[in-house]
Structures are given as structure tokens and as C-alpha cells.
């Protein structure tokens, strides 16, 4: 006969516990959940998105009513527990229900703290804790214009921004000297304040509220210094306190919260507690990650599994407050023995501070650029010593680029989803063992991305790495939007959007940070639209492009130096040999594109290897102009009609580094025998006695497409001109991730030929490409691969007429 488990509380911690129990043994318990609100379980973290009109209430429901039914769970809603008879093991509800239990779990959460000052019970004074609170705030915003949020913590700032987006004039009143003082140090807090002020929010810091003014409804606030402020709505967001009153009445030990041991047991038999209502080792927690960690421990205990004791949690906060990225973890207080490493980029408003004690990370504060957050957090969680890391770059390993969030290269035990404690290995095993194919499925199985959602792009990256990179080329460019490529480009031009953040916001992408599919696409489209205004966003590029190397299945990398036209010399060969020997490179191989590749290179050795090679990257794995494959040509071959190798070198020197919707390969054959397979290249040249035959739209690979003859020209200069025009037209009209073969098929070969045959349009295209090329060659991102100074050639060109096919 199954035992009866009763859970008091229908919130995130309690229901996650039930999910964990069902996952271990769905037949062990008859389960009853008692809830106070009239809703099924929902994601409280997402209430700010509801307030900001980014999501609906339905979209934040985590476990709909059907989930309770499918799992044979009795849900008692809108009827909170009011009494517990521990002697007879009976819970009494507000409406008089008597619910017997064999085992009882308190997951009663917390109460929002309301200032005990005169006027706090007036109409128009609300907390920001529940769906009903959110609905009341939205209703007030429709009737009133002025709002004050008391509390400059995370929730208060999200409430303030939400009310501003609802059309209200919002002031944040905060007692401390800077915002989010428990998660941010003073500099980061001031940076956040400055950015939010630029968005229209107002702040009164170091102000203590002493009275709420008004008769029945609030009309203003009075502060300790005697000053006042008018307002029609007051939102209290100054913290929470454990909801432990019922537990205390039942005889459980309660200090700040319900006292539990390492196995979430209370002082009474068969009664347990988890979540914001508990106190463990003198600490209470208000973030979801510790609550879910507690749930896993208690699920093992309740299922008779030997449980690993709960040892407390290292908390972190990774969030975006109104477009302002910040990350905080661990202890950020300057306590005895604490040291810190700090870096501040005042131009880009990026700030990093890492707190160090006993040669290990104790705390982290990041503002602006937060991609390093997970890396630092994993180092802190593991207790990794930092002696061998470069403090000048804020604990950057030798060879590791700053800001890298290369989740593919992480160890399997490193945490991807901090909220739910899901590691990279958990996700990879789920994908492989259970055939998961999308982020939603990964979330359902592993819980990754189901709380704050910040890790979804990394989950998507792991999916693409495991399953192969997929491309959406028909409807929306990704699941974040229904807009296709042409619609996105049209809006970029029409609204003059110059950053990915602008695109995601103005075009109402469902994910305000984008995903692993649309971030590189939008970055590319912006590079094409505004090459001199848009700063290439490195973190939006795939890891292979960022590292100038291709990650292999064992986590090492391949290094492919550029050998223009496939030509090398003894000095280059000697350098490659020396590097391969010095760094114990496991494999040296001639590639299919006439390069010599070094395989099995360690990530930390990449910068040193590139420096010692003194060669530029062939961008062998980038979505860019790749190699030009050539035969030896007429200078050596008795069948050759032209200098194919020389032309290949000129093409590479002219167009290397330029990014394209997908890889762009070129082949130059010195005679119709076509030893370099020019007929299956994106741009193929077959040299003949009277000139050069140009072929376009050929692709090798899994689906071979034969290139089509565009025309025959007489000179090398014409070949280079047509190649450049084709490149730019492909850049301006191609869908990110689309090879030239489907591109030509989609636009129509005749239409492409018509554009390229028009001398005026060809000139415009070449000039636009020159602008993009000049920017690429002067961009510091290309210092590792650039070896010449190029005179920048800038033109003022309206590109909109060439966004789509035809005049």
C-alpha cells in the first residue's frame, strides 16, 4: 500500500521536489499538494516578463492542471493549510478539509516584507510576488501615471522597468548607497544606475521611507529627512521573510526559518521542509538554485535512496535588468583576508571584479560583458587554484579568449544551468541517450533552461554540436521570431538598427538575448547592412570562428594556416614542422583544400602556435571566403593554359577575411581537365586559351550541385571583379547558413546573372564589398590573422535597392 505524502505549498521548490520524486519512483506515494493561490504551479521568476508585456500568464505556467491529473496528484487550490496535528498526522485547510499524511513536507515559501510604517495598508500599496500582484500593478498602470518602487534590488528594478513600460513615471527609492548592494559592489551598482537613468528611471538613494501619505489611497511618501514625493502607486520590494508561522504553531523548531538538517529533516519525525521557508546551517536562501538542490536531496531521502547530504549552496545571480547584463556570485564583501582583481572598460561600460581568498575565487561581480560568468562560477564551485591564470586578463587561462562562453569546450562536470544544477554532461547524455532534438525537450528531461532561461542559448549550442548545425531558411530565421531573412533585413535598414540588442528588442524576438541560431545570423546581417557602424559581436560567432580553429570531438582543436593558392615555401614548412614538434601535435595532414593542418592542438596553446607560425588563419571553418584551390598552372603543367596558381593567390589576397552567409569556396583550374573540381565550387574558374570560364553555385558535400556557367571573360581583373560582385550580392541577399547552390536556386540563376551583368550594379556591389573588407582588415579582432595595412576605402552607398532580387 502506497504512503500518503502531503506537500504544503504549490510553488517552485515544492513542485520541483515532487517532480524529482516521480522521476525516481512514480508509484511510491499518493501525493496531495495544498496551495494558497488559484493557479497551478508557475515560474515566479518570469513575473517581470509578464509585467513588461514580454510573456503572458499562460506562458509562465510550469505545470498545468493536466500535469497533476496525469501524475494522479490531488491539488487543493485556493485553500491554504491552517493547522497541522502532528500527533495524529492530519493537516487542516482553511475551508475545513482534513488531509491525513504519512510524510509531510513544508514548502511554504516566503512573504514579501512590508514596511511597518503608517499608511502601509492603504489602497495602491502592493508587493510584487504573485500573479495577482502583477495583475494589480498592471491595472493601476492603466489608471494612474506616477509610481514609486521601494527597494533597489533585482525584483524592485524589474518592477520599476515593467511599470515604466506600462506608461508610468517611475521613481525607485532605496535605503542603501547603491543599487543591488548585496549582489553588486559600488562601482557596478553605480554603472547600473547610470544605464537605467538613461532609460528614464529615476532614483532616490539613501532615503528611508517613514510614512505613506493619503486618505484611503496612497498619494505620496514622506522620508526621514522630512522631504516628500507624490505617487499614485507604491510597490514594496524590500526583501522576503520565510513563511514559517504554521510550522512554528505545529511545534517545529523555527529561527529565521524552519530549521532543517543536511537531509532536510525537521525536529519532528516524518516532517521535512525545503525552499525559502527553511533555515539550514544558519542560512536562508531566496534564489531557485539552492531550493532545487535541496529538492534533489530530499527526493532521495523520501525514496529510500542513500542521499548525499546538503552542504549549503554557492549562490549566483545572472540576469538582464532592462537590457543591462550583470552577473554576481559568491561572497563579494571585503572581509578579512579577501583580495580582488578588478578591470574596468569605461568606454564600453564593462566591469569585472573577482574576489580572491587563499588563491581561490570567493566571489564574482560582472557588469556589461558577462560571458565569463559561468567560467568563473565553475572555477569557484570546484575550488580551483588560480596561480597559473593570467590575472591581468581577469583569470584568463593562457590561450583563452576573454569573454568566451564556449560551452562545447567545457568539461562535462561544469554547470550550464545554474538554477537547476544541470551540467554539460547531463545535457549531452540526455541528447544522446534519449534522442533529444530541441531546447524544449532538453528542458523537459534535464530541467535546463526551465527557470530563468538564461542558459537556453548554451543548450542550443550543445544541441547543434551533437546533432549537426541546422538552418532555418524558410519561415522565421529561428524559433525566436516569425520574421524571415528579408523581413529582418528590411527592418534593420528601415529602423537603422546597428546592434543585435536593438534588433531583438525592436523586432520583438521572444528571447531578448536571441538564441544560438539567430545571434550569429543577426550579427552577420548587421555586418552587411552597416559595416562601418556595427561593431562585430564576437560572442555571437560560432566557437570555431572565435578561436580561428575547429574544435574536434575530443575537445582539442585543429589549426589550419592559410597557404594562398595552395602555394608554400621551405620557410613555412620549417615553421610548421617546428611548431608541430614543439607542441607535440598528434597529427599533421595535408587538407582537402591544399593546406597543411595541425590536429589535436590544446586550446591554451592556440595563441602561441599562431604567433610562432607567423602565418594567417585560413578561416578553414568560418562562414567566410575560404580557400582558393588551384592546380600548378601553365608554369609547370604541359596542359595548363593560364597561371591558375597566381590568380588563386590574387583572389585570396583580395577577399580573405570577408564573412558570407555560409562557407564560400573557390577553385581555379588551368585547363578544362579541372583537376581542382572547379565545377563544384561556389565560384569556379576554368582557364581556356582565350580567357576564363566562370561558374557559380556549385557545392560539394552531402548533396553535390554542379556549378552553372555564368560567362567567359578575357582578363584576371574581370575574374576578380565578378567574384567580388558575386560575393557581395550573396552577402546582401543570402539567408545566413545558406550555401550558394540553394541561394542561386531560390533567386533564380537568370536573376543573379542579370545583376552581375549590369556594370553599374557590379560597381556598386564592389564598392560596398570594399567598405566591408576595409573594416575587416582594420578590426582588432583580425590582428591574429591580419598581416597587411590596407588603405580604407569608404563609400556612402544606399544598399536597400539590392536587398531583394530585381530592380
Position 117 scores a pLDDT of 94
Reduced to 3 states, what is the DSSP secondary structure of residue 169? strand
Structure confidence by residue, pLDDT tens digits, 95-137: 999 999 999 999 999 999 999 999 999 999 999 999 999 999 9
Rounded Cα gap, residues 703 and 706, in angstroms = 10
Look at the block and give the residue holding cell 597566381. Answer: 646
Position 796 scores a pLDDT of 30
- State the angle between helix axes of 186-198 and 154-165 in degrees (0 to 180), rounded to the nearest 10: 10
Q: 707: alpha, beta or left, given left = phi > 0 and alpha = psi -120 to 50?
A: beta
Residue 485: enclosing H or E segment and its boundaries? Answer: helix 485-495
Kindly give, in sequence order, each residue whose CB lies less than 8 Å from that of residue 750, ignoring residues fewer than 6 positions away.
Answer: none
Position 372 scores a pLDDT of 80
| CATH number of this structure's domain 543-621 | 3.90.480.10
- State the angle between helix axes of 740-747 and 716-733 in degrees (0 to 180), rounded to the nearest 10: 80
Q: Are 233 and 163 in contact (CB under 8 A)?
A: yes
In DSSP terms, 694 is beta-bridged to 685, 711
Position 405 scores a pLDDT of 53
Q: Are 390 and 372 in contact (CB under 8 A)?
A: no
Q: Are 188 and 365 in contact (CB under 8 A)?
A: yes
Residue 547 dihedral angles phi and psi, to the nearest 5°:
-90, -5
Position 205 scores a pLDDT of 96
Tell me, rounded to whole angstroms, the distance of Cα 169 from its chain centroid: 31
Q: Where do the H-state alpha helices sit in 199-265?
A: 245-249
Rounded Cα gap, residues 46 and 659, in angstroms = 37
Look at the block and give the residue holding cell 554532461. Answer: 425
Q: How far is CA 204 from CA 148, 156, 260, 584, 759, in A?
A: 10, 13, 39, 61, 62
Question: What architecture is domain 3-111+242-302?
Answer: 3-Layer(bba) Sandwich (3.50)
Q: How far is CA 114 from CA 121, 568, 739, in A?
A: 9, 74, 59
Q: Are 327 and 317 in contact (CB under 8 A)?
A: yes
- Bridge-based pairing of strands 415-417 and 90-93 is unpaired
455 known member of a binding site: no
Q: Are 504 and 514 in contact (CB under 8 A)?
A: yes
Query: Can you give the three-state secondary structure of 694-754, one letter per residue?
Result: EEECCECCCCCECCEEEEEECCHHHHHHHHHHHHHHHHHHCCCCCCHHHHHHHHCHHHHHH
Tell me, rounded to whole angstroms, the distance of Cα 5 from its chain centroid: 38
Residue 593: enclosing H or E segment and its boundaries? Answer: none
Position 471 scores a pLDDT of 37
Q: Are 730 and 747 in contact (CB under 8 A)?
A: no
Superfamily of domain 125-238: FAD/NAD(P)-binding domain (3.50.50.60)
Q: What is the largest CA-CA distance in the chain?
A: 102
Look at the block and give the residue holding cell 514596511. Answer: 115
Position 35 scores a pLDDT of 95
Q: How far is CA 701 from CA 581, 665, 742, in A?
A: 33, 12, 13
- Read off the DSSP letter of residue 390: B
Residue 340 dihedral angles phi and psi, to the nearest 5°:
-150, 155
Q: How far is CA 48 from CA 162, 395, 447, in A?
A: 7, 34, 21
Q: Where do the H-state alpha helices sit in 25-144?
A: 47-51, 65-70, 131-143
Residues of the chain with confidence (pLDDT) below 70? 318-323, 387-406, 452, 468-476, 542-544, 547, 552-555, 565, 591-594, 618-620, 702, 777-807
Q: How many CA atoms lie within 13 A of 491 on its CB side?
A: 16
Rounded Cα gap, residues 459 and 463, in angstroms = 6
Domain with CATH 3.50.50.60 in the chain: 3-111+242-302, 125-238
Rounded Cα gap, residues 535 and 634, in angstroms = 43
Signed CA dihedral, 313, 319, 324, 325: sign only = positive
pTM score, whole prediction: 0.61
Position 474 scores a pLDDT of 37
452 known member of a binding site: no
DSSP 419-452: TTTEEHHHHHHHHHHH---SHHHHHHHH-TTSSS
Q: How far is CA 113 from CA 221, 329, 430, 744, in A?
A: 17, 24, 41, 63
DSSP 636-695: T-TT--S-HHHHHHHHHHHHTT-B-SS-EEEEEESSTT-TT-GGGSSEEEEEETTEEEEE
675 known member of a binding site: yes
Residue 520: enclosing H or E segment and its boundaries? Answer: helix 518-529
Position 107 scores a pLDDT of 97
Rounded Cα gap, residues 738 and 750, in angstroms = 19
Q: How far is CA 206 from CA 173, 177, 665, in A?
A: 8, 5, 62
| Residue whose C-alpha is closest to residue 619's, from 542, 717, 685 | 542
In CATH, which of 3.40.718.10, 3.30.450.40, 3.40.1110.10, 3.30.413.10 is domain 623-807? 3.30.413.10
Reduced to 3 states, what is the DSSP secondary structure of residue 151? coil
Position 554 scores a pLDDT of 67
Q: How far is CA 577 from CA 519, 573, 582, 589, 617, in A?
A: 38, 6, 9, 11, 17
- Bridge-based pairing of strands 29-34 and 3-8 is parallel
| Residue whose C-alpha is closest to residue 635's, from 595, 666, 671 | 671
Q: Are 229 and 144 in contact (CB under 8 A)?
A: no
723 known member of a binding site: no
Amino acid at each position: 500500500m502506497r504512503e500518503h505524502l502531503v506537500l504544503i505549498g504549490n510553488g517552485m521548490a515544492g513542485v520541483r521536489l515532487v517532480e524529482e520524486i516521480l522521476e525516481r519512483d512514480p508509484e511510491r506515494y499518493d501525493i496531495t499538494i495544498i496551495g494558497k493561490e488559484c493557479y497551478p504551479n508557475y515560474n515566479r521568476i518570469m513575473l517581470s516578463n509578464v509585467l513588461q508585456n514580454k510573456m503572458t500568464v499562460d506562458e509562465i505556467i510550469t505545470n498545468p492542471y493536466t500535469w497533476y491529473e496525469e501524475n494522479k496528484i490531488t491539488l487543493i487550490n485556493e485553500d491554504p493549510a491552517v493547522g497541522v496535528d502532528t500527533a495524529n498526522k492530519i493537516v487542516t485547510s482553511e475551508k475545513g478539509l482534513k488531509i491525513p499524511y504519512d510524510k509531510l513536507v513544508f514548502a511554504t515559501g516566503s512573504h514579501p516584507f512590508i514596511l511597518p510604517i503608517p499608511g502601509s495598508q492603504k489602497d495602491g500599496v502592493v508587493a510584487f510576488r504573485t500573479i495577482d500582484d502583477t495583475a494589480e500593478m498592471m491595472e493601476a498602470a492603466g489608471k494612474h501615471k506616477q509610481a514609486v518602487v521601494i527597494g533597489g534590488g533585482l525584483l524592485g528594478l524589474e518592477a520599476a522597468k515593467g511599470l515604466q513600460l506600462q506608461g508610468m513615471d517611475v521613481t525607485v527609492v532605496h535605503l542603501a548607497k547603491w543599487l543591488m548592494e548585496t549582489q553588486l559592489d559600488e562601482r557596478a551598482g553605480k554603472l547600473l544606475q547610470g544605464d537605467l537613468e538613461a532609460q528614464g528611471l529615476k532614483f532616490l538613494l539613501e532615503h528611508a521611507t517613514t510614512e505613506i501619505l493619503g486618505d484611503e489611497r496612497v498619494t505620496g511618501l514622506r522620508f526621514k529627512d522630512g522631504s516628500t514625493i507624490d505617487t499614485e502607486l507604491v510597490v514594496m520590494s524590500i526583501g522576503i521573510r520565510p513563511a514559517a508561522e504554521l510550522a512554528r504553531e505545529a511545534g517545529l523548531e523555527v529561527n529565521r526559518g524552519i530549521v532543517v538538517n543536511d537531509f532536510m529533516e525537521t525536529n519532528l519525525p516524518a516532517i521535512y521542509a525545503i525552499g525559502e521557508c527553511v533555515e539550514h546551517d544558519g542560512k536562508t536562501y531566496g534564489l531557485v538554485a539552492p531550493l532545487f538542490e535541496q529538492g534533489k536531496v530530499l527526493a532521495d531521502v523520501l525514496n529510500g535512496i542513500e542521499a548525499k547530504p546538503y552542504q549549503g549552496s554557492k549562490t549566483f545571480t545572472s540576469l538582464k535588468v532592462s537590457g543591462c547584463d550583470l552577473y554576481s556570485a559568491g561572497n563579494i564583501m571585503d572581509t578579512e583576508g579577501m583580495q580582488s582583481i578588478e578591470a574596468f572598460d569605461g568606454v564600453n561600460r564593462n566591469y569585472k571584479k573577482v574576489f580572491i581568498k587563499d588563491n581561490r575565487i570567493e566571489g564574482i561581480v560582472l557588469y556589461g560583458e558577462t560571458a565569463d560568468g559561468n567560467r568563473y562560477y565553475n572555477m569557484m564551485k570546484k575550488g580551483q587554484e588560480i596561480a597559473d591564470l593570467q590575472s591581468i586578463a581577469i583569470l584568463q587561462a593562457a590561450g583563452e579568449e576573454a569573454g568566451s562562453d564556449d560551452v562545447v569546450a567545457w568539461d562535462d562536470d561544469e554547470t550550464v544551468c545554474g538554477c537547476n544544477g544541470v551540467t554539460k554532461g547531463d545535457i549531452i547524455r540526455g541528447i544522446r541517450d534519449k534522442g533529444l532534438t530541441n531546447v524544449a525537450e532538453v528542458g523537459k528531461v534535464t530541467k535546463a533552461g526551465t527557470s530563468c532561461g538564461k542558459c537556453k542559448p548554451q543548450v542550443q549550442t550543445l544541441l547543434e554540436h551533437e546533432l549537426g548545425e541546422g538552418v532555418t531558411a524558410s519561415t522565421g530565421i529561428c524559433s525566436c521570431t516569425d520574421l524571415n531573412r528579408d523581413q529582418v533585413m528590411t527592418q534593420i535598414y528601415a529602423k537603422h538598427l546597428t546592434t543585435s540588442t536593438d534588433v531583438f528588442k525592436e523586432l520583438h524576438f521572444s528571447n531578448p538575448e536571441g538564441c544560438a541560431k539567430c545571434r550569429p545570423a543577426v550579427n552577420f546581417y548587421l555586418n552587411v547592412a552597416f559595416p562601418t557602424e556595427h561593431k562585430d559581436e564576437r560572442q555571437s560567432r560560432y566557437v570555431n570562428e572565435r578561436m580561428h580553429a575547429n574544435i574536434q570531438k575530443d575537445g582539442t582543436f585543429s589549426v589550419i594556416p592559410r597557404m594562398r593558392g595552395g602555394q608554400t615555401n621551405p620557410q613555412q614548412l620549417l615553421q610548421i614542422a617546428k611548431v608541430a614538434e614543439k607542441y607535440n601535435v598528434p597529427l599533421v595532414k595535408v587538407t582537402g583544400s591544399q593546406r597543411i593542418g595541425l590536429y589535436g592542438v590544446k586550446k591554451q596553446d592556440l595563441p602561441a602556435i599562431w604567433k610562432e607560425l607567423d602565418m594567417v588563419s585560413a578561416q578553414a571553418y568560418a562562414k567566410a571566403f575560404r580557400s582558393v584551390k588551384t592546380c600548378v598552372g601553365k608554369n609547370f603543367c604541359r596542359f595548363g593554359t593560364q597561371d591558375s596558381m597566381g590568380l588563386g593567390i590574387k583572389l585570396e589576397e583580395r577577399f580573405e577575411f570577408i564573412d558570407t552567409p555560409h562557407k564560400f569556396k573557390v577553385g581555379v583550374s588551368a585547363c578544362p581537365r579541372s583537376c581542382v573540381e572547379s565545377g563544384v565550387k561556389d565560384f569556379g574558374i576554368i582557364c581556356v586559351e582565350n580567357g576564363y570560364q566562370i561558374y557559380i553555385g556549385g557545392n560539394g558535400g552531402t548533396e553535390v550541385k554542379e556549378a552553372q556557367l555564368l560567362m567567359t571573360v578575357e582578363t584576371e581583373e574581370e575574374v576578380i571583379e565578378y567574384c567580388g560582385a558575386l560575393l557581395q550580392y550573396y552577402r546582401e541577399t543570402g539567408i545566413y547558413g545558406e550555401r550558394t547552390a540553394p541561394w542561386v536556386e531560390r533567386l533564380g540563376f537568370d536573376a543573379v546573372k542579370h545583376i552581375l551583368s549590369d556594370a553599374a550594379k557590379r560597381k556598386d556591389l564592389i564598392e560596398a564589398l570594399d567598405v566591408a573588407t576595409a573594416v575587416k582588415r582594420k578590426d582588432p579582432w583580425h590582428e591574429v590573422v591580419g598581416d597587411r595595412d590596407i588603405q580604407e576605402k569608404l563609400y556612402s552607398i544606399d544598399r536597400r535597392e539590392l536587398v531583394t532580387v530585381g530592380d
